[in-house]
Structure 1
Amino acid sequence: MSIYDHFRTEEQPFIDQVLEWRKTVIDQYRMKATDFLDPREQFILRSLIGTSDELQLDFWQGYEGAERTRALMYPVYYEPNDSDFAVKCLELEYPVKFVTLKHSDILGALMSLGVKRKKFGDILMGDGICHLVVAEEIADYVRLNLTSIGKSTVKIKELQPEHLIRPTDQWSNEQSTVSSLRLDVILSEAFRLSRSKVTPFITNKKVKLNWKTVEQPSSLLQEGDQISVRGLGRAKLITVDGQSKKGKWKITYGTKKSK
């Protein structure tokens, strides 16, 4: 069985990239910091690297609940430190008395600068505060060029990870059994809705699987998959724990309901 058989066809380019990273670390005896990876990519990376006698794998954990983060692969004899992850934390200052900025505003402003999504991590929003986690190689560019968002002026300063806003919305994790790993079945279980009520969300393009719109209720899920449903919230399939004697799938999943 090929290694690709364990993953989706569209994930093959990322798998090839991971294997190339692994080869570079082993052959050249040097560390490799990845771009920011979403949770599904982190799962694939862990699955492919696993436990190895030739290299180690760590993820930047600047704060609890980090979703998008950088990974570091390095030779077994090397002892990494935080600077090896090449992550910078930035705070956006803006006139909060007159302007309200949303997550989508910040994301749009960064993308309009030509910054690739994989070069920055989570956007953390608080009460009149916005923090960014970015790759060190683009931090100066963002500081110099992100001077306004919409009609609001913006000033940026660097801060230490311990001062980052902590996410307030927590995942609620549960264990259950389901008849199959179909998208509509998992969503029905996660959001306590009938499949007939879940299906229109999918067919009306309101569901994203691993950040890409999916329209097939029969799409099969795998461990590490992340799902967002407009108007309902988010769900993730954490683990698939085998099948019961009656043929049902034992799963652990998480949900975040929309506010």
Structure 2
Amino acid sequence: MDIYQHYRKEEHAFIDKVLEWKAAVEFQYSPKLTDFLDPREQEIINLIIGDHSDVQVKAFGGSTTSERKRVLIYPSYLSPTEEDFQLSLYQVDYPSKFVKIEHPQVLGSLMSIGLKRSKYGDILLDDDNIIQIVVSKEVDGFIEVNLQSIGKASVTLKKLKLEDILVQKEEWIEQSVSFSSLRLDVVISSTFQLSRQKAQAIIQNGQVKVNWRIVENASFECKEGDIISVRGHGRLKLLNNEGKSKKDKLRYTVGKQK
């Protein structure tokens, strides 16, 4: 059976990588630790390797609620611990009484110092203006030396124990939405009550991600389980297909998250 037929074309390169990792673990009898992966990539690894008798998979990103995680692919005789995931937790110290820092600014600053997105996990913020960053332990020295400002604020980094990580719960508000089709622009306009033209402009401006990948094609075909992020509007997830409405439209249970 062709493994690729169950996945979108843009996922095929990652599937090849997963198959290589699996084969290396089987052949060398040693574990493979990945960089940080998004939830869709984690799902693909679990689907491909699954409950393989000789090779196992475990993911960890700092807490039970982490979104981005490093994945350990390992021989079944090993028993991984948290230390095996090589994670570091930093808190960003800055003049929070005078400056407000938001998630996109932290992300932009990390990218501007030349740190690949795969080298850091979740960026955590709370209502008390506390900011934490989970990073791969191998880049500790690099981030400590190079991350000196975020936006217009000077910052310093304080290393914490993983047990001090902010735990953020994911809450989805469910509702039933009708779509004339599963085109990306239709799904966005119907869910967020925007005009089709507005939805198309947002997509074409690179402000939409499907399963953590930027999609600029308004006619992109969505499917059940997709998570769609729309900058400035939040995230939605196509949860369940409810069949067709009396007007022959597609009805879906949709989860919305601000």
The 2-side partners of 1:100 and 1:13 are apart by: 39
What's 1:65 paired with? 65
Which residue of 2 is the match for residue 155 of structure 1? Answer: 156
Name the stretch that deviates more: 101-110 or 19-28.
101-110
Alignment correspondent of 2:203: 202
TM-score w.r.t. structure 2 length?
0.84
Could you tell me which residue of structure 1 aligns to residue 46 of structure 2? Answer: 46
Can you list the C-alpha shifts for 1:20-46, whole angstroms capped at 9, x where unaligned? 111111111111111111122112112
The secondary structure found in structure 2 opposite 1:95 is coil
**Structure 2: how far apart are the matches of 1:106 and 1:113?**
11
Please give the root-mean-square deviation of Cα atoms over the aligned residues, in Å. Answer: 3.0
1:107 maps to what in 2?
A: 107
Say which SS state the counterpart of residue 104 (structure 2) adopts. Answer: helix
Q: TM-score, normalised by structure 1?
A: 0.83
Q: Which residue of 2 aligns with 1:3?
A: 3
Q: Per-residue CA shift, 1:130-178, capped at 9, x if unaligned?
A: 1000011112221222223344332212212232222266233567786
* Contact 1:39-1:224 at 8 Å conserved across structures: no
Q: What amino acid is aligned across from residue 166 of structure 2 in structure 1?
A: I
The change in CA–CA distance for 1:15 and 1:132 in structure 2 (over 3 A counts) is same
CA contact 2:39–2:67 (8 Å) conserved in 1: yes
* In structure 1, C-alpha distance between the alignment counterparts of 2:69 and 2:5, rounded to whole Å: 26
Cα distance change, pair 104–177 in 1 and its aligned pair in 2 (3 A) = closer
Equivalent-residue separation in structure 1 for 2:175 and 2:76 (angstroms): 36
Q: Structure 1: which amino acid aligns with 2:122?
A: D
CA distance in 2, matches of 1:150, 1:183: 32
Q: Distance in 2 between matches of 1:177 and 1:104?
A: 32
CA contact (8 A) 2:125 2:131 kept: yes
CA contact (8 A) 2:61 2:67 kept: no
Partner of 1:255: 256
Partner SS state of residue 121, structure 1: strand
Task: State the number of aligned residues.
Answer: 256
Percentage of identical aligned residues: 45
SS, match of residue 106 in structure 2: helix
Report the CA distance shift for 1:76/1:222 in structure 2 as closer, same or farther (over 3 A): farther
Question: 179-188 or 226-235: which moved more?
Answer: 179-188
Rounded to whole Å, the distance in 2 between the matches of 1:109 and 1:194 is 33
- Equivalents in 2 of 1:223, 1:21: separation in Å? 28
1:197 Cα deviation from its structure 2 partner = 6.6
CA displacement 1:191-222 (0-9 Å, x = unmatched): 46676774554355542223443243331224
Residues of 2 paired with 1:175 and 1:50: CA distance? 32
**Secondary structure, in 3 states, of the residue corresponding to 1:77?**
coil
Is 1:40–1:225's contact at 8 Å kept on the other side of the alignment?
A: no
Structure-1 separation of matches of 2:218 and 2:50: 32
Q: Which runs of 5+ in 1 are unaligned?
A: none
Of 76-85 and 152-161, the range deviating more from structure 2? 152-161
Matched, 1:82 2:82: yes
Letter paired with 2:158: K
Q: Which amino acid letter does the alignment assign opposite residue 49 of structure 1?
A: I
Equivalent residue number for residue 188 of structure 2: 187
SS of the counterpart of 2:15? Answer: helix
1:242 Cα deviation after fit:
9.5
**Amino acid in structure 2 at the alignment position of 1:124:** L
Query: In 1, distance between residues paired with 2:174 and 2:27?
Result: 40
Q: Which runs of 5+ in 2 are unaligned?
A: none
Answer whether contact 2:38 2:212 (CA < 8 A) is retained. no
Distance in 1 of aligned mates of 2:195 and 2:130: 39
SS in 1 for 2:44: helix
